[in-house]
Amino acid sequence: MLRIAEQVEPMPRSLEPAMDAAWPAPDRHETGGWIFRAAGGVTQRANSIWPKDLHGRPIEELSGLLIEARDWYGSRRLPVIFQLSDEADGAAGLHALLDTERFTRQSETLVMTRGAAGLPAQRHGAQAAELSSAPSEDWMQVWWQVDGRGGDEQRRIALDILSGCPSVYALVRNNDGRPAAVGRLALPEASSRGGIYCMATIPEARRQGFAEAVRHSLLRAGHDSAVTDFWLQVTAANREAQALYARAGFRVSGRYVYRQENSQAEC
């Protein structure tokens, strides 16, 4: 039996900037080596702090930056959330501070990677994917139906996030021509890596090979665009998806967790 969570290698340091560029928040502020990101509450990733520089920071400096973060996010009526890897330099000190401040731990996420060489062959008879450089209305409809949260304004913000990084969008239709599954390959301009995001299949089309066809088309599109390595993110609780990605050659290269301020904590 494959034990995904135990197969962990150190995540390349250069991958975090690529992940940040792949899902860019429209509202950003950098201070003290931390990146504050906000997008009206649409997705945790786009509304969290990326503390990209933690090495050697004394507790007093971390506490001061936390005060600044509370002011910044408070003015936007958003909670303070950190996206924090246990493996980052200096992460232990910030985790200790957040524990003291009673920040919760949420949504543990694995980062899985693979090289561009030796891509798996497409399954015989698989549906061909429609590829585009922008999300079509059909593409958005599938993704938002599966993963969307909110109304028209939230959908517009999500589209702004998607459009903030050059990407390839894949859509596979069922035998009746209706949209069945989608995915996105983010291609950050300053990186040779490509990130797979927004994998979504409508409920009635699951376990029919549509997601596999989307994934294969995105890997092939990345290979054709001179991508050297791929990454994707999957929640630690989603063992089924981890196993599917492992069979496609992905291996766990790191993990992160969201630390959110507990609004119920006593002042």
Does residue 3 register a pLDDT over 70?
no
Closest Cα to residue 8, out of 78, 63, 86, 120? Answer: 86
Please give the Cα distance from 114 to 249 (Å, whole number).
6
Q: How far is residue 167 CA from its own chain's centroid? A: 14
Average pLDDT over residues 48-64: 89
CB atoms within 10 A of CB 81: 22
User: Of how many residues is the chain composed?
Assistant: 267
Average pLDDT over residues 65-78: 97
Does residue 106 register a pLDDT over 50?
yes
**DSSP 8-state assignment for residue 217:** H
Please give the Cα distance from 207 to 211 (Å, whole number).
8
pLDDT confidence bin for 12, thresholds 50/70/90: low
Does residue 264 register a pLDDT over 60?
no
Least confident segment among 14-28, 49-63, 207-221 = 49-63
Please give the Cα distance from 85 to 16 (Å, whole number).
10
* Phi, then psi, of 201 in degrees rounded to 5: -130, 130
Please give the Cα distance from 198 to 120 (Å, whole number).
20
**DSSP 8-state assignment for residue 88:** S
The larger pLDDT score, comparing residue 85 to residue 161, is at: 161
pLDDT by residue (tens digit) across 123-180? Answer: 766 678 999 999 999 999 999 999 998 999 999 999 999 999 999 999 999 989 999 9
Does residue 265 register a pLDDT over 50?
no
Does residue 266 register a pLDDT over 50?
no
Contact criterion met (CB below 8 Å) for 39 and 221: no
Average pLDDT over residues 208-227: 93
Helix then strand count (H, E) for the chain reads 7, 11
Residue 127's pLDDT is: 77
Residue 9's pLDDT is: 54
* Mean pLDDT taken over the chain: 90
Strand order in the sheet with 179-186: 27-31, 34-38, 49-50, 81-84, 251-261, 103-115, 229-235, 193-201, 179-186, 167-173, 130-132
pLDDT confidence bin for 262, thresholds 50/70/90: confident
Average pLDDT over residues 201-225: 93
